[in-house]
């Protein structure tokens, strides 16, 4: 047994670039990204297999959410699970920023957990020398295996992160076939790509009041025929999601369809409806149906 294999969770305050980093590490867009905090809601696995090593990355929601709905409690449980069950945790922060929310996220990681501090977004720092005091200070907050600066956007220093990480993984055989990229199915990505468009197209609070359900997913030769619903909480929200004459919904659906055609490498038909489900973020039954335990 000469190889290594293990799970690696990406943990940190919302918006530090965990999902962007997962996508960069895996080399495929598996996890949705937006400029707003609390985009990720589901644990997404991205698997990278190189000779002698299999990395199983797990992207987690950013924490801690401010709201105390049933949804947010479920998200919080996922963060805890990601932090404690991994072989190694990547604690992701933004270059030159370490605030109370970062500290709270760090405190959710059990002290005995093997942890690497990843300083993301170093492309925003003009001179590398400006970063050194920040890296030093961060390195003193916990007994990290290493502190590694990277840029998920440009890919800078990501190979170094993979190298450091490989040494920290346990020895053992690969858990997944070497060509497997993720544990999620196409249905999951269909819902997520549509949800990403909600984040891109809708104002302040609304993306947080929406969810996507895939009602049916059929393969017809090289065509995937997908029917999806967007859940909102109120009639007024439905009107916003639809836009004038349904234009906004149409634009979001076709942007999501293009992403899916790229990911699936085949034709996609995506039909989308908007449904009002009062207080779904607090409805345990609806949440179970959406896959939140």
Ligand X SMILES: Nc1nc2c(ncn2[C@@H]2O[C@H](COP(=O)(O)OP(=O)(O)OP(=O)(O)O)[C@@H](O)[C@H]2O)c(=O)[nH]1
Span of 38-46, 132-140, 211-219, 269-277 interacting with Mg ion by CB under 5 A: 38-46
- The answer for 74, left when phi > 0, alpha when psi is -120 to 50, beta otherwise, is alpha
CB under 5 to 8 A by kind: which of Mg ion, ligand X, none does 76 bind?
none
Among 9, 120, 229, 237, binds ligand X (CB under 6 A): 120
Per partner kind, with CB cut-offs from 5 to 8 A, the member of ligand X, Mg ion, none near residue 289 is none
Residues in contact with ligand X, total (CB under 6 A)? 23
Check residue 40 for interaction with Mg ion (CB under 5 A): yes
Question: Which residue in 14, 77, 57 sits closest to 207, CA to CA?
Answer: 14
Task: Please report whether residue 34 would count as binding ligand X according to CB under 6 A.
Answer: yes
Question: Which of these ranges, 115-123, 180-188, 242-250, 273-281, lies near ligand X under the rule CB under 6 A?
Answer: 115-123
Binder of Mg ion out of 7, 16, 19, 281 (CB under 5 A) = 19
What token pair was written down for 203?
Answer: 């104002």
Write down the least CB distance from residue 59 to Mg ion, Å. Answer: 6
| Interior/surface letters 16-55, b for 16+ CB within 10 angstroms, e for the rest | bbbbbbbbbbbeebbbbbbeebbbbbbbbbbbbbeeebbb
User: Binding segment for Mg ion among 16-24, 88-96, 173-181, 275-283 (CB under 5 A)?
Assistant: 16-24
Work out which of 67, 124, 136, 171 binds ligand X, going by CB under 6 A: 124
* Min dist. Cβ of residue 47 to ligand X (A): 18
Q: How far, in Å, CA of 94 to CA of 239, rounded?
A: 36
Report 45-74 residues binding ligand X (CB under 6 A).
61-62
Taking the least distance from each CB to ligand X, the nearer of 212 and 226 is 212
Decide: residue 282, CB within 10 A, 0-12 exposed, 13-18 middle, 19+ buried. middle
Taking alpha carbons only, the member of 123, 131, 63 closest to residue 92 is: 63
Out of 81, 97, 123, 186, the residue judged to bind ligand X by CB under 6 A: 123
281 near Mg ion, rule: CB under 5 A: no
CA distance 171 to 49: 14
- Residue nearest ligand X by beta-carbon distance: 62
The answer to the question of residue 17 lying near ligand X (CB under 6 A) is yes
- Cβ count within 10 A of residue 200: 17
Nearer CB in complex with ligand X: 4/13? 13
Q: Does 80 bind ligand X (CB under 6 A)?
A: no
Residues with Cβ within 8 Å of 79's Cβ and at least 6 positions away in sequence, in order, are 11, 60, 61, 62, 63, 64, 105, 108
3-state secondary structure 59-76: ECCCCCCCCCCHHHHHHH
Q: Count the alpha carbons within 13 Å of 176 in the hemisphere toward its beta carbon.
A: 19
Residue of the chain from 4, 18, 42, 108 that contacts ligand X (CB under 6 A): 18
Structure tokens belonging to residue 160? 């170094």
Q: Does 9 bind ligand X (CB under 6 A)?
A: no
Footprint on this chain of Mg ion (rule: CB under 5 A): 18-19, 39-40
Site of interaction with ligand X (CB under 6 A): 14-20, 33-35, 37-40, 61-62, 120-121, 123-124, 151-153
């Amino acid at each position: 047994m000469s190889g290594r294999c293990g799970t690696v969770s990406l943990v940190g305050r919302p918006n530090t670039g965990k999902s962007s980093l997962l996508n960069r590490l895996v080399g495929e867009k598996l996890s949705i990204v937006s400029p707003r905090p609390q985009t990720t809601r589901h644990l997404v696995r991205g698997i990278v297999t190189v000779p002698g090593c299999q990395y199983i990355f797990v992207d987690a929601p950013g924490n801690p959410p401010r709201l105390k709905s049933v949804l947010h409690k479920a998200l919080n449980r996922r963060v805890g699970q990601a932090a404690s069950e991994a072989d190694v945790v990547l604690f992701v922060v933004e270059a030159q920023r370490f605030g109370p929310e970062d500290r709270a996220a760090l405190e959710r990681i059990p002290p005995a957990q093997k942890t690497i501090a990843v300083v993301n977004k170093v492309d925003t720092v003009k001179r590398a020398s400006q970063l050194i005091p920040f890296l030093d200070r961060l390195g003193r907050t916990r007994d990290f295996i290493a502190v590694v600066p990277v840029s998920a956007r440009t890919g800078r220093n990501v190979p170094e992160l993979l190298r450091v990480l490989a040494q920290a993984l346990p020895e053992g055989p690969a858990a997944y076939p070497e060509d497997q990229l993720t544990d999620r199915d196409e249905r999951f990505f269909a819902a997520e790509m549509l949800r990403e468009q909600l984040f891109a197209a809708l104002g302040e609070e609304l993306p947080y009041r929406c969810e996507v359900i895939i009602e049916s997913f059929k393969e017809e030769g090289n065509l995937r025929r997908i029917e999806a619903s967007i859940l909102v909480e109120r009639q007024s929200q439905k009107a916003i999601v639809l836009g004038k004459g349904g234009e906004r919904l149409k634009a979001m659906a076709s942007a999501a369809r293009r992403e899916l055609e790229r990911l699936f490498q085949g034709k996609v038909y995506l039909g989308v409806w908007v449904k009002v489900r009062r207080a779904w973020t607090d409805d345990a039954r609806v949440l179970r149906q959406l896959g939140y335990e």
